[in-house]
Copies of this chain bind each other. A is one copy, B any other.
Amino acid sequence: MKGRFFAIGVGPGDPELLTLKAVRILKNADVIACPSKESGPGIAFNIAAQAVPEILDKRIIALEFPMTKKDLTQAHENAARQLINVLDSDKDIAFLTLGDPSIYSTFSYILGLIKRNGYEVEMISGVTSFTAVAAKLLISLSSKDESVMITSKEYTDVADTLVIMKAGSVLKELKAKISKTKKEMYLVENCGMEDEKIYRGIDSIPDEVGYFSIVIVTDRKEFNE
């Protein structure tokens, strides 16, 4: 009997947005794995630990992921090998990801490596950050036959509603492009965290914000009127 590997979405920031399933698996897991931040467990771990303090007493594997592509592939392979060693000792691993594991998550390459080596893997869905942002703004992203496009940094006008993840690093350019449209622009920084900031309307949005910023571009604003 080998250990099992669970990739768990812990939601966008508010510990209460963990699912019952995530809580159950975190309580039962032998080992917690998570991306690291300055050699310690990162933001996903901090969110999970607020909802399930028991994980503070478990073995924690904090994985470092460098930013350059070549180093990253090597880091993924090292991480997978490290995790497989744990699975071979009959331990279940809960790997924590911010938001939902299928949306811009760092774990996908690792999960592929582990699955191809014959281990049992399961993805546990979490609340994705952009629907949490819509909830904060009290807006709908889509109704009836409307479409939603989710992109990383890029602006496009092919959908009724556009969600731009990681908008912080290109915000000035985004504002210039969106100001030429008739759409409304919203931004939420650090959604669900203590330093959350909500901006409604392009004129209220500064040119510089933090990394965890999501922009929504839409012509729907009925809830705000």
Q: Mark A114-125, 1 if CB is under 8 A from B, else 0.
A: 011000011111
- Residues of A within 8 A of B (CB-CB), count: 61
Q: Mark A164-203, 1 if CB is under 8 A from B, else 0.
A: 0000000000000000000000000000000000000000
The stretch of A35-43, A56-64, A82-90, A98-106 that contacts the partner chain: A98-106
CB–CB A150/B148 < 8 A: yes
CB–CB B102/A131 < 8 A: yes
Can you list 23 A-B contacts with CB-CB less than 8 angstroms, sorted by A residue number?
A: A18-B20, A19-B19, A100-B127, A102-B139, A103-B131, A104-B142, A104-B144, A105-B143, A108-B223, A111-B138, A121-B138, A123-B138, A125-B132, A125-B135, A142-B152, A145-B152, A145-B154, A147-B152, A148-B149, A148-B150, A149-B149, A149-B159, A156-B158
